[in-house]
Amino acid sequence: MQLFKPGQYNYDDLYSSFRWSIPEKFNIGVAVSHFASIDSERIALYYENDHGGSHQYTFGQLQRDSNSLSNALVALGVVPGDRIGIVLPQRYEAGLAHVATYKTGAISLPLSVMFGEDALKYRLQDSGAKVVITDSAHRELLESLRPELPDLEIIIDCDDHITSAGLESLLVKSRDKYTAVQTSADDPAFLIYTSGTTGPPKGALGAHRCLIGNLTGFELSQNFFPFKDDVFWTPADWAWTGGLLDALLPSWYYGIPVLGYETKKFDPERVCHLLQKYRVTNGFVPPTALKMLRQSDVIDQFDLHFRSIMSAGETVGAEIYHWSESTFGVQINEMCGQTEFNYIVGNCSALYPVKPGSMGKAYPGHRVEPVDSQGNIVPLGQTGELAAHRDDPVMFLGYWNNEAATVSKYRGDYWGLGDLCHRDEEGYLWFLGRDDDVISTAGYRVGPGEVEDSLLKHTAVAQCAVIGVDDPLRGQAIKAFIVLAEGVTASDQLAKEIQNSVKARLAKHEYPRHVEFIEALPMTTTGKVRRVALRKGEF
């Protein structure tokens, strides 16, 4: 299973000699639960919550329960290609729901527990989800949306231990033997909505093969993962690519335990306690979490055991890199990717030197270059758009019901990621900025369009525009420029009210932390907001 064994490697030789071996038939659900046949008692998940609850789940239990849930879903009418929404935090049932969905040939639709009414409704409507698996905290909201969700037939509550609609009842009455659908490696497996600069979020449809495409980067960014006693952790929501495909699923693919922590707030002291308790060795820790750990000043009280840390979502920066190295005793392996084309560039301190601030080098199996708008590779040292060759198993299948958006990202034979970069003489890629207006905040990509749409639902807002501004903790924070409706007076109280309305409708990471009331927005002659002018203060 492991692609690269620890040893004396040369990056150039490793990169040039690597070749993909993608089977014709491949199913993520089967692949990540297969360890039950090797050691059914091996721990798959250590679970903790912020109320003091804890539990351990084995690969054998994951195999049996996912088979039972697969049988239950089929009995409820689920067929291959159906979309199954999963609105759950970092708990066993979330991973279980994904594994069972994949086994049936259906498509998992990860949805963050941070989403409010509008965000959930849009994604469930657009995807045509047939089933939603959730918890009691979100059941009422989902039930209230049902009149506007004609495709939604079933809501399964993981906390319902009494009625037939509860997960427990479904598992108890279903057989724990199930023959998974023989999916093609190219068949769709998951649908993750990602933000863009204009319009609503787009659904990125990923194939089963995408997990395999992640593995070269995953192994190397975790310094030749896995070692025998590795334990993995990430604070990233499993509803996002980073938490699901950069942490949970690849760890289970290798039979490695994952620490899941269900909490509503990042508590550095509690996190460090858990890292020590479970002797966590590997992690995906976004820069914002690293900054919060640094600010807490509690790490010295704990005996931590990291042997590798990958970070992504925003630039780590030299200061946090050096602090992490002195604190954890490991060099942060920064990585770059996106939902559509994940885990393609990064560092591996065990294989080649890390240059703080650099994105690193292309991982084996991925052809990544700075290119111009036609897909021509730009000369060394010159700026181009970060792009990956389309002949790659990690590339997604396309945007859900939006072929035009898919085609618009092609640059000849390459797929444009929207980041401007250049390559130095040693092959390292350096991020220079975005060529669009997507805001990268606390590891999340937020498109201004969705936030602006939510802002406009407040009766006091006549016009608005959203940009990202520098933030020492989050990389970027969301700032809203608002033109008020006639007769409305600006005030701090009004700003707070507007912020809270967005927080309730979308998600806590999508509300504008800064609000500025202005007389008029800067516009182009064609009526488009000039966000560049807002960023420069030219209005």
What CATH number is associated with residue 159? 3.40.50.12780
Asked if residue 539 has pLDDT above 90, the reply is no
All residues at 6 or more sequence positions from 513 whose CB lies less than 8 Å from its CB, including other chains: 471, 477, 478, 479, 499
Contact in structure between 394 and 189 (CB atoms under 8 Å):
no
Q: Tokens for 455? A: 């802002």
CB atoms closer than 10 angstroms to residue 436: 13
Rounded CA-CA distance 305/229 in Å is 11
Element (H, E) at 414: strand 414-423
Domain boundary among 207, 233, 253: 207
Rounded CA-CA distance 195/352 in Å is 33
Rounded CA-CA distance 273/71 in Å is 38
Amino acid at 381: G
Buried b (16+ CB within 10 A) or exposed e, 179-192: ebbebebebbbbbb
Average pLDDT score over residue span 340-355: 97
Rounded CA-CA distance 16/266 in Å is 41
Rounded CA-CA distance 505/96 in Å is 28
Is 468 within a domain? Answer: yes
Distances (CA, A) of 143 to 88, 102, 134, 535: 15, 25, 11, 41
Model confidence pLDDT, tens digit, residues 143-202: 999 999 999 999 999 999 988 889 999 999 999 999 999 999 999 999 999 976 667 899
Is 369 within a domain? Answer: no
Percent of the chain at pLDDT > 70 equals: 99
Our count of domains for the chain comes to 2
Is 446 within a domain? Answer: yes
Domain boundary among 160, 184, 207: 207
**pTM, two decimal places:** 0.89
Greater model confidence, 102 or 531: 102
Rounded CA-CA distance 374/27 in Å is 35
Q: Which pLDDT belongs to residue 317?
A: 82
Is 433 within a domain? Answer: no
Rounded CA-CA distance 393/460 in Å is 48
Average pLDDT score over residue span 68-74: 98
What confidence tier does 526 reach under pLDDT thresholds 50, 70, 90? low
Q: Which pLDDT belongs to residue 234?
A: 97
Element (H, E) at 144: helix 136-145
Contact in structure between 480 and 514 (CB atoms under 8 Å):
yes
**Which residues on adjacent β-strands are paired with residue 57?**
45
Give the neighbor-by-neighbor strand order of the sheet with 461-471: 461-471, 475-484, 514-517
Helix pair 287-296, 268-277: axis angle to 10 deg: 100
Asked if residue 536 has pLDDT above 90, the reply is no
Rounded CA-CA distance 123/119 in Å is 6
Q: Which CATH number does the domain housing residue 479 bear? A: 3.30.300.30
**Is the four-CA dihedral 74, 79, 85, 88 of positive or negative sign?**
positive
Contact in structure between 250 and 1 (CB atoms under 8 Å):
no
Q: Which pLDDT belongs to residue 523?
A: 81
Q: Which pLDDT belongs to residue 193?
A: 96
Rounded CA-CA distance 33/97 in Å is 12
Asked if residue 297 has pLDDT above 90, the reply is no
Q: Which pLDDT belongs to residue 538?
A: 81
Q: What is the CA radius of gyration of the chain?
A: 23
Model confidence pLDDT, tens digit, residues 223-275: 999 999 999 999 999 999 999 999 999 999 999 999 999 999 999 999 999 99
Is 378 within a domain? Answer: no
Q: Tokens for 393? A: 């198993």
Contact in structure between 85 and 193 (CB atoms under 8 Å):
no
Determine the length of the chain: 539
Model confidence pLDDT, tens digit, residues 238-247: 999 999 999 9
Amino acid at 31: A
**Which residues on adjacent β-strands are paired with residue 87?**
134
Asked if residue 524 has pLDDT above 70, the reply is no
Is 338 within a domain? Answer: no
Is 79 within a domain? Answer: yes
Q: Tokens for 213? A: 């495409």
Domain boundary among 152, 181, 207: 207
Rounded CA-CA distance 358/345 in Å is 10
Asked if residue 413 has pLDDT above 90, the reply is yes
Q: Which pLDDT belongs to residue 271?
A: 97
14 three-state secondary structure? helix
Average pLDDT score over residue span 521-537: 80
Residue span of the structural domain in which 468 resides: 439-536
Counting DSSP H helices and E strands in the chain, the numbers are 17, 26
Q: Which of 113-127, 284-298, 407-421 has the lowest mean pLDDT?
A: 284-298
Model confidence pLDDT, tens digit, residues 435-456: 777 788 988 878 787 898 899 8
Model confidence pLDDT, tens digit, residues 496-515: 999 999 999 998 899 999 99
